[in-house]
Chain A
Amino acid sequence: MDLIDRYLNAVAAQLPQDERADIIAELRDLILSRFEAKEEELGRALTEDEQEAILREIGHPLVVAARYRKGPDSLVGPALFPYWLFGVKAGLLVLGAVYAITLFIRLIGGADDAGQAIGNAFHGFFSSGLTLIGVATVAAAVFEHQGIRPAWMTNWRVKDLGAFGLADPAAWGASMTGTETARATWMPKPRARAWPGGEYLFSFLAVGMFVLWWVGVLHFPGLVSLELRGEDAVVSGAPIWSILFGPILLYAFAQMAIDLASLFRPYAVRARAAAQIVVAGAGLWLTWAIFEAGHWFTLTRGEETARIAGDWTMLDFDTLRNLGDGARDLVGIASTLSVVLVWALAISALSLAFKILANLGRLARG
């Protein structure tokens, strides 16, 4: 096989089957024409090095073949890139918050080696962050390749752009502590509706991350282990999570479906409110089922085990006030986490109930 055949084979392998023969025949003619012109100029046959130099001038087979592609030239094109960037930043923000909270719990839970806990948090954040960027890039590539442009990308209104201001960290907290100028700039204006897409995009990404983790695609290193006085304590789920695996997954999918539908039709208020009521009702039932199970996790360190479990009696403020006063052993940590979880479930139930009421109001107002 000579130089030209080897070069053309490399190009041909990258080309679509139906156009391959035609393109290769044309390229062969081009290469032979270039060789002949050079031979005429030199008055002799070309050496292999000279032939190779001409092939290099024509271009690397991957580059030459890529020029014949009919689809987009990049994974995320210039039109999609700003949305991709915003989505990635939002997702990283959510991830950062998740890891910061987890790290906080581990530190107050008495992790002996704070340095290692911080290291694990950073490692988890970076690996999850890279996964997030990968998923966002694949999603953008699909949009790019299929030429999909959702309505919220093309049919936006200036008065709905308020949420994008929050991409500037200088805006965070301005509503609480900022100067008058900052507040005037960043506080939501009473009559202006924030861009609804931002909220749904955040929610979609956050629930999407949860689903990936829930089904085992995404791993958050360090989430299932605690450092306790120099020894690793493993967190294992109680049977209730296996029982509710399917319903929780369905609940998350339903929430993502609502977010996605809202991204495409942000002003379908009544339909969204009705769907949110149903999903929040399901969430309330799930919260109740988890609460009723009474046992949520088990901490294991060597031979020792302690249950993270609770009931209604923990829902009093004295218990909350004494949080963290318990022993720093396995049982003490389990007890602290039990109180945290009971209150978290109660707050979750309350917020779901409010969500139902708010959406009932929206449904009534239309």
Chain B
Amino acid sequence: MSLDPDLYESMRLELRRGSLVLAVLACLRTERYGYTLRQALAADGLEMEESTLYPLLRRLESQGLLNSEWREEEKRKKRFYVLSPGGVAMLAALTDEWRGINASLDKIL
């Protein structure tokens, strides 16, 4: 039976959605601004639309998981993000959860 491409795309996006937050937190152990963060995620195979990434960064900051600061670089002001202490703890907890889910799925699959 052939795979329904639309259904596959919708299920693939659903599968990815939850893991993107973890990926963003993990990438921000090092300080980055939005554009370089997106490039870093893409380089590791996690393409993310700007219209999703930038609002996500603001949300994570408002939740106290990120710190941000405006700084000038390459003659332009850029907003740099990095994990806050709360973000570090959250990343550790979510990483454990992710590994647990992964291990369970590996057994099932």
A189 to B33, CA, bound (A): 64
Q: Check: B104 CB closer than 8 A to any chain A CB.
A: no
Chain A residue nearest in CB terms to B59: A70
Asked if residues A64 and B35 are in contact (CB atoms below 8 Å), the reply is: no
Docked Cα-Cα span, A27 to B50, in Å, equals: 9
Query: Using Cβ atoms and an 8 Å threshold, which residues of chain A touch B33?
Result: 29
Instruction: Collect the chain B residues with CB atoms within 8 Å of residue A27's CB.
Output: 54
**Cβ B35 vs Cβ A29 within 8 A:** yes
| A25 on the B face (CB < 8 A) | yes
- Alpha-carbon distance between A25 and B68 when the two chains are bound, in angstroms: 14
Q: Is the CB of A59 within 8 A of B77?
A: no
Range, interface on chain B = 10 to 19
CA distance A25 to B33 in the complex (A): 13
Measured in the bound complex, the distance between the Cα atoms of B54 and A73 in whole Å is 17
How many A residues face the partner with a CB closer than 8 A? Answer: 16
| 28 pairs from A and B in contact (CB 8 Å cutoff) | A23-B54, A23-B58, A25-B70, A25-B77, A25-B79, A26-B34, A29-B33, A29-B34, A29-B76, A29-B77, A29-B78, A29-B79, A30-B34, A30-B35, A30-B50, A30-B54, A58-B50, A58-B51, A59-B49, A59-B50, A59-B51, A63-B51, A67-B52, A67-B54, A67-B55, A68-B54, A68-B55, A68-B58
Residues in A neighbouring B49, C-beta threshold 8 A: 59
CB distance from A25 to the nearest CB of B (A): 7
Name the prevailing secondary structure of the A interface residues. Answer: helix
Bound CA span A216–B34, Å? 54
Q: Which chain B residue lies CB-closest to A27?
A: B54
A26 to B33, CA, bound (A): 9
Instruction: Name which of A19, A23, A26, A59 has the most chain B CB atoms within 10 A of its CB.
Output: A26
A33-B35, A58-B50, A59-B49 as given contacts; A26 in contact with B79, CB under 8 Å: yes
Q: Which residues of the other chain, A, contact B58 by a CB distance below 8 angstroms? A: 19, 23, 68
Binary CB contact string for chain B from 49 to 76 against chain A (1 if under 8 A, 0 otherwise): 1111011001000000000001000001
Give the contacts of A38-68 with B (CB-CB under 8 A).
58-59, 63-64, 67-68
Known A26-B54, A29-B33, A30-B34; 18 more pairs at CB < 8 Å? A25-B70, A26-B34, A29-B35, A29-B76, A29-B77, A29-B79, A30-B35, A32-B76, A34-B35, A58-B50, A58-B51, A59-B49, A59-B50, A63-B51, A67-B52, A67-B55, A68-B54, A68-B55
